[in-house]
Homo-oligomer: A and B are copies of this chain.
Amino acid sequence: MKKLKIASLPGDGVGKEVVPAAQQVLKAVARLHGGLQFDFTDYPWSCEYFLEHDQMMPDDALDRLQDADAVFLGAVGNQKLVPDHISLWGMLIKIRREFEQVINVRPAKLLKGITSPLASPKDFDLLVVRENSEGEYSEVGGRIFRGEDEVAIQNAVFSRRGTERVMRYAFDLAAKRQKHVTSATKSNGIVHSMPFWDEVFQSVSRDYPAINTDSQHIDALAAFFVTQPQRFDVIVASNLFGDVLTDIGAAIMGSIGVAPAANINVNGKYPSMFEPVHGSAPDIVGKGIANPLGQIWTAKLMLDHFGEEELGEKLLDIIEDVTAAGILTPDLGGKYGTDDVTKAILKGINK
C-alpha cells in the first residue's frame, strides 16, 4: 500500500468548498487504484485564522507541513479581512518560497464541452512554466522622500541559478512534448533583467539542440494567447509574466475556475504544493456554485507528481466526460452546483 500524507490547506473563500470536493475525488481514485491511500490532515490557516491569531499561520506551520508528501491548497486571500499582500506573503508566497517550490507549472487546454471566449479556439495545449521564487516578486525595495517627492523603488532579482533552473525544467518538459520552448521576455523595454534572461535562455538552449525555441516580448505573447494559442507548446516565463500569461490561459480555457497548477520543489528537500490558478472568489462564496474542476484537475497534477500518471490521465478523461456531458457550473455557462459536478466525477470514477 502506497500511503501518501497530504497536508490540506483549504484557505479562504471557495477554497473551503472545492478542496473537500477534490479530497473526495482523490479518495475515490485511490480506492479505484487499490494500492494507494491518501491521508489528509486539514489545517484551518486563512484570513479568518489571522483575525484570531494575528498571523496567517502559526509559528511552527512549516515544520508541521514539512513531513507531508504534498501540500494541497485551495485559495488564500480575503481583502475584506486582511490586506492581500499580508495574507499572501504570510501564507501562499511564504510556502512557495520557504519550501523552495521554485517552479510553477500551469497547463492550459480546452476541455470538451466547454465554450471558450475565443471565436475559433483551435486545439491549444500549452504549458506555462513559471519561475516561482524570485524575479519581480521580491521583498527588496522601499521608499525615499516624503510628500510630493516620495519615490517607491521595487527591485526585481534574477539569479542565474534560478533562471537556468526554470529554463532547464521547461526544456525537459518540452522534450517529452512538442519540442518547442518559447521564452517570455521584454528585453526591448526592461534593460537589466530581461537581456540577462535572454542570455541565459540562449545559453541553456544550446544544451538542448533537439528543442526548437523562440522568444516573444510579453506584450506580443499575451496577444498571441488570444489570437493563436495553438502555436505554443511550453512557455518559460518569469514570476510576473507567468502570472499574467496563466490568467489569460485560464480565460481562454473558458473559466479561471478550471485552471490547475503545481508548485514544484525540485531539490527534494520540501513538499511540493498543488493549488489551482483561481483565487478565493469572495463574490460567490457560500452559494454552492464554485467550480471544483480547477482543484480536481490540480489533484490530477498531484497524481502525476506521485508517479501515478496513468491514474492522472484517467481522472482527466473523467473530468472531460463530465464537461462534455454539459454538467457545468455557472462560470462555464452551466446551471449545476459544486456538488453536482463533484458527484458526476465520483460516478465516473466508480463506474
Q: Are B85 and A191 in contact (CB under 8 A)?
A: yes
Residues of B within 8 Å of A118, CB to CB, are: 117-119, 226
CB of A256 closer than 8 Å to a CB of B: yes
Contact of A151 among B84, B152, B160, B190 (CB under 8 A): B160
**Contacts of A128-180 to chain B: CB distance below 8 A:** 136-137, 139-143, 147-161
The reply to whether B247 and A220 form a contact with Cβ atoms under 8 Å apart is: yes
The answer to whether A311 has its CB under 8 Å from any CB of chain B is no
Chain B residues whose CB sits within 8 angstroms of the CB of A250 once the complex forms = 223
Q: Oligomeric state, in number of copies?
A: 2
Interface stretch (choices A15-23, A48-56, A238-246, A335-343): A238-246
Indicate which residue in B89, B151, B156, B252 contacts A191 across the interface (CB closer than 8 Å): B89
A350 nearest CB across to chain B (Å) = 34
A141–B189 Cα gap in the complex (Å)? 13
Q: Is there an interface contact between A161 and B149, defined as CB atoms closer than 8 Å?
A: yes
Question: Given A119-B119, A153-B157, A161-B148 in contact, is the A222-B193 Cβ separation under 8 Å?
Answer: no
Is A196's beta carbon under 8 Å from chain B? Answer: yes
A-B contact pairs, 9 of them (CB 8 A): A141-B191, A147-B160, A153-B155, A155-B155, A156-B156, A186-B243, A219-B246, A220-B247, A222-B251
